[in-house]
Amino acid sequence: MASRPATAAPTAQEEAVGAQAPRPSRPRTARRAGRRERYAPYLLIAPLLAIFAGFYLWPALVTVLSSFFEWGLLRPWSLVEPDRWDFVGLANYSETLTDPSFWNAALNTAIWLVVFPLLVASFSLLVSILIWYLSRGGAAFRTMFVLPMTISLAAAGVIWSFVYNPDPQIGMLNAVLDKLGILGADWRLGPLELHIGAWLSDPGVLHLGFADIRLTNLALVVPAFWVFSGFGVITLTAGLTAVSYELVEAAKVDGANAWQVARHVLVPALRGPLVVVGVVSVIFALRTFDIVYVMTEGGPAQDTMVLALLLWQQAFAFLDTPQAGLATAVAVLLSAVLVAGSYRYLRQLLAGRPR
Amino acid sequence: MTGAGRSRRTIVLLYGSLTVLAIVWLVPVISAVMTSVLPLSQTRAGWWNLSFADLTYRNFVRAWDQGLSHYVVNSFVITILSVVLTVAAGSLAAYAYARMAFRFKATTYFLLITTMIVPVQIILIPMLPWFRTLGLSGGPQEYLGIALVHTAFGAGWAVFMIGSFFATIPEDLLEAARIDGAGWFDVFRRIALPLAVPGIVSFAIIDFVFVWNDLLLALTLLAREHQPLTVGLANLQSPHLAQDDLVAAGSIMAILPPLLLFAALNRFYVRGLFAGATKG
């Protein structure tokens, strides 16, 4: 490894150091230090990259490779045992893409993808602007809205199951609706059919001619939104600190009221932070697993099944059927959509980094 | 912006609407707290009709004795091991990515950052056979196994967050230490690392909450006796078993540690963020 520049550089440094501190042991230490300097970054990144390679890159590669084979967890696919391979080509993908239960889960995931970011963005926009207008007490309010962020989705699912309990003696939500006298009401508003009170079993259907969309998903989106909105509130309140008071005062002098200030000064200033909130909540929504697993396990029937849970069940809930190949195909598709969809965000993250 | 220029009505409206929103926001938590400190008979008749004479801590004792103690211990073991590993390996690597030049830097950095976006499912399915191959299943070594997975998945955040703190350290400071004859490791350990402590603590808090709250990895990779509280809670939760009191007590136990951590270190955390902001 004694290439030219490698030996030349330490010598120069050695002389410099030697001139400064003329102790006999110094040049040798300096030479060693100089040579080590070259390997320093590799020594620093080695532990993390070793773990990263062993527990992320390699398994991810196995997932992609094994998605072209038929296998199950009782008969796992292994790169080093070619005699046990059951190559099926793209069959896992074609089977997945023609499977109605995949498309049902994809539709439910799409509902999450639309509703969840919208709820998070609009709620945190409202709250952060209201807080911005406060002259005091803003921090206390912000803390209250951020509080659910530390709660696990598993615990949130449990907690919201109490709130959603259909018995008005137990469930807070139905107790309130009972007081209002609308508990158990069946409403029909055009294509929208609502059953007030049956939140996790059958809260209603949106009839769209070509498809019926069951609203049970929305009952699951709400707890996730409740947990995650704190992120939006933090991001947007931080974004609002950049708004200059002069601009707001100028707008007021021009006769703008509070609503117009919010609409024409504050919201435009938040465009960047809103994009961040949107992208991160889309990523969050596509990964949805915990809430559904804890609250409904995809039911009733398959009404709340999402892709992340579908592939988990394919791989782990039916161990005796070799469906892990199918599950890996779903995982690959899901990851591909996520990476493709957030690629620009990823590039932005990388660009914002000091070199 | 002071309230001076605005009408009284607007101010009342502002505080009023925020108060109502905050109360609605906290109702689910209050609901769980009340269910956990009232006897089941009382909860069945609406916890909002509470009488303070009925308040009890018995639910917590019963939940603890009925096996949740085990899950709580597991949660702490898994979380602390994961955070220590991620912070240790992550700080070293973050320093290299923030302050040094080396081959394949951009490529490996990009790969690390993908962990922020790609779902855990991409590694989950072949993981059990892989654990068996590595000898990481079937015993307490499962704790190490899941901690390593958490480290791999926290790698992107660690390098990104801690690295942004290393990046704000003035080059002159490091250069001065080098001129004084300090080797690269001394520069890292004595100069850079102490200055990045706020960033490392912020990351540790976020990673603690993330690992503590994980359900999917633990549910999939761990044998029952090593599973954490989130899995215990999911097992306990069943509409067919009338044990809301135990479930509520369990959910409060699951919520408290990350919440207390945030409350205790909030000032430090905020100071860390501000330090990063003013230096940058």
The pLDDT value recorded for residue A19 is 41
Residue in the block written with tokens 């400071």: B173
Whole-number percent of chain A with pLDDT over 70: 87
Chain-centroid distance, C-alpha B145 = 18
A70, A71, A84, A152: best mutation site toward chain B, by most B Cβ within 10 Å?
Answer: A152
Interface pTM (ipTM) of the complex? Answer: 0.89
The pLDDT value recorded for residue B192 is 93
The pLDDT value recorded for residue B152 is 96
User: Could you tell me if B111 lies within 8 Å of chain A, comparing CB atoms?
Assistant: yes
Residue A208 has pLDDT above 90, yes or no: no
**Dist CA A179 CA A251 (whole Å):** 45
The pLDDT value recorded for residue A193 is 86
On chain A, the residues whose CB falls within 8 A of the CB of B35 are: 162
The mean pLDDT of A181-188, rounded to a whole number, is 83
User: Could you tell me if A164 lies within 8 Å of chain B, comparing CB atoms?
Assistant: no
Average pLDDT, chain B: 87
Touching B: A residues 41-100, CB under 8 Å: 41-42, 44-45, 47-49, 51-52, 54-60, 62-63, 66, 73, 76-78
Question: Where is A186: in which H helix or E strand?
Answer: strand A186-189
**Dist CA B200 CA B157 (whole Å):** 11
Residue A109 has pLDDT above 60, yes or no: yes
pLDDT tens, residue by residue, A141-152: 888 898 898 899
Of the two residues A37 and A116, the one the predictor is more confident about is A116
**Dist CA B234 CA B220 (whole Å):** 13
B125, B207, B244, B261: best mutation site toward chain A, by most A Cβ within 10 Å?
Answer: B125
First-to-final CA distance of chain A:
28
DSSP string, B175-234: HHHHHTT--HHHIIIIIIHHHTHHHHHHHHHHHHHHHHT--HHHHHHS-GGG--HHHHHH
Q: How confident is the model at residue A263 (pLDDT cuts 50, 70, 90)?
A: confident
Residue of chain B minimizing CA distance to A234 = B270
Burial B48-66 (b: 16+ CB within 10 A, else e): eeeeeeeeeeebbeebbee
Q: What letter would DSSP give residue A149? A: G
Give the length of chain A: 355
Residue A20 has pLDDT above 50, yes or no: no
| CB within 8 Å of B121: residues ≥ 6 apart | A287, A308, A311, A312, A330, A331, A334, A335, B216
Average pLDDT, chain A: 83
pLDDT tens, residue by residue, B162-173: 998 899 899 988
CA distances from A282 to A113, A192, A249, A303, B68 (A): 6, 26, 36, 21, 34
pLDDT tens, residue by residue, A308-335: 999 999 888 776 667 888 899 999 999 9
The pLDDT value recorded for residue A57 is 95
Residue of chain B minimizing CA distance to A73 = B129
Q: What letter would DSSP give residue A188? A: E
Whole-number percent of chain A with pLDDT over 90: 34
Tokens of B121: 């499912």
pLDDT tens, residue by residue, A209-231: 777 888 899 999 999 999 999 88
**Dist CA A51 CA B93 (whole Å):** 12
**Dist CA B221 CA A250 (whole Å):** 59
Q: What is the dihedral sign for C-alpha A108, A111, A117, A121?
A: negative
First-to-final CA distance of chain B:
26
**Dist CA B90 CA A267 (whole Å):** 37
Residue A162 to chain B, least CA–CA distance (Å): 7
The pLDDT value recorded for residue A25 is 43
The mean pLDDT of A93-120, rounded to a whole number, is 93
